[in-house]
Amino acid sequence: MFRRDFLRFSAISATALLATGCKPEEGFAFDGLMGSQSRESEERGALPIPPLAEYTKTEGKKSFDLEVRAAEKNFFGSKMTKTFGVNGDFLGPTIKVNRGDKVWFNVKNSLSEKTTIHWHGLHVDGKNDGGPHQVIPVGESWKTDFEIDQRACTAWYHPHQMDRTGYQVYMGIAGFFLIDDEESKNLPHEYGVDDIPLVIQDRRFSQDGEFRYISSMHDRMMGMAGDVFLVNGAIHPTFEPKNERVRLRVLNGSNSRIYTLGFDNKQEFDVVASDGGILERPTKMKKILVSPGERVEIVVKFSKNSALNLIDYMSETSLMKIETKDLATSKELPEKLAQPFSITPSKNEKLRVFDLSMGRGVALINNKQMSISRIDEEVEIGTSEIWRIRNNQSMMMRMAHPFHIHGCSFEILKREGRPIYAFEKGAKDTVLVASGEVVDVRVIFHKRADKENPYMYHCHNLEHEDLGMMGQFTVT
């Protein structure tokens, strides 16, 4: 079995682990395990880098054509797997733009089912957001244009089709959306050379090589815990850096799995950016916790002629091998990377409370399942608010929920239960709320969303989202 060759599978899902109170910095009986395991692992080929999306310049706008389609891909052995992809067989190209760019997208749906493409992390009006209201019927195209009006960050895109998001993302629809500005030049920024996107996903395969999505309600509620890990769509690839310092833009593109990432040689790295942008200063860390939908950027300094592994502490698995030979020297990181992110509080900030809970076959916010015809909240544009997200722990179901808000960046103010880590500072759009925790965020919206095209807030465990842990709000 290809899996046993190099993967060690923990039967307890990472989501469940976190919910039981294990703290990411404590590690999980990991020491000494990884070394032997990774040596045995099979050679799987070089780390694929998603190609940059091509564009044409029309009337001062960068114009991108995306086609969402069904395909097949060879992940292992001689078997082919049925997949979905964007302009390719699995995942999609990286969209790379600058702050201030005017962009235009033509998204064609060549699937045999409805879909949408949501720009996760972008500050765009509700009608351009690609949520469940901007459905692209089979065979049709969605045209949307907007201005890039936010700081440099690692955002991404994925479907947001009502009840089908989990399935469509699992099949392979996801890609990076990178925004650059002057501050991003303080970090390594040569795409594919010293600026490397890494989307991490887990999958289960059936004996005949097909993806095995949800097979039970337990999967939906507790997380599916795939036993095969993909980095940029490849199983256990090898990355060969050419430069001493490399920026890794990590996206947890998994449906439900939470990772605690680090290196098997326990080396430190600099955390330099979170979801919505570059942090004021780099922070040295050895482990980072990344939940579904979250992004974190790190800069790693490699040594010549070395071999190490990018590992997940939670599943005790090597995700990617790293092998270095000669390395070009790169300049040190500046002490200050970017202007700090903070939201000036408005007078008499409104407090909104969101209670997340799980029931039999349902996932709820404020005791309600998502309804596409109901507006749950109405927010005033340009006014800051405190959103309090409470994960109501029940004895039956102790789950962690990564809570995502569309159309904005927020600041995490406090969390009862665990500290706010360096990789959660700065501008965020997704925050992990583990069982029993309460998180306060300060949020402000500068873009509009009317009741025909409202924004979403939801759990980014995509099965929870599809089970109803989502709500809609307007910004006017």
Q: Which residues bind Cu ion (CB under 5 A)?
A: 401, 459, 461, 464
Q: Detail the DSSP E strand segments found in 92-244.
A: 95-98, 102-109, 118-120, 141-147, 153-158, 175-180, 195-203, 228-231, 234-235, 238-239
Rounded Cα distance between 15 and 400, Å, is: 6
Are 312 and 320 a contacting pair, CB within 8 Å? Answer: no
> 133 vs 464, which CB is nearer to Cu ion?
464
> 277 vs 468, which CB is nearer to Cu ion?
468
Least distance in angstroms from the C-beta of 29 to Cu ion: 27
Q: If DSSP codes are grouped into helix, strand and coil, which group holds residue 288?
A: strand
In this structure, the number of other CB atoms found within 10 A of the CB of residue 1 comes to 6
Side-chain half-sphere exposure of 375, counting CA atoms within 13 A:
14
Q: Which of 250, 241, 256 is nearest to 178 (CA)?
A: 250
> 279 vs 363, which CB is nearer to Cu ion?
363
Which amino acid is located at 369 in the chain?
Q
Quote the radius of gyration of the chain (alpha carbons, Å).
Answer: 21
Least distance in angstroms from the C-beta of 204 to Cu ion: 19
Least distance in angstroms from the C-beta of 463 to Cu ion: 8
Least distance in angstroms from the C-beta of 216 to Cu ion: 17
> 123 vs 428, which CB is nearer to Cu ion?
428
Least distance in angstroms from the C-beta of 402 to Cu ion: 7
Least distance in angstroms from the C-beta of 464 to Cu ion: 3
Only one residue has tokens 């091509």, namely 54
Only one residue has tokens 């999958």, namely 203
Q: Which residues pair with 317 in a beta bridge?
A: 312
> 383 vs 392, which CB is nearer to Cu ion?
392
> 300 vs 469, which CB is nearer to Cu ion?
469
Torsions phi, psi of 39, nearest 5? -65, -35
What does the H/E/C string look like for 382-421? Answer: CCCEEEEEEECCCCCCCCCEEEEECCCEEEEEEEECCCCC
> 220 vs 464, which CB is nearer to Cu ion?
464
Find all residues with CB under 8 Å of 317, minimum gap 6, and list them: 7, 8, 9, 229, 311
Sign of CA dihedral 446, 451, 457, 460: negative
Only one residue has tokens 């102790």, namely 398
> 131 vs 468, which CB is nearer to Cu ion?
468
Rounded Cα distance between 1 and 387, Å, is: 47
Least distance in angstroms from the C-beta of 393 to Cu ion: 13
Q: Which of 376, 372, 386, 258 is nearest to 314 (CA)?
A: 258
Least distance in angstroms from the C-beta of 220 to Cu ion: 10
Least distance in angstroms from the C-beta of 131 to Cu ion: 18
> 62 vs 464, which CB is nearer to Cu ion?
464
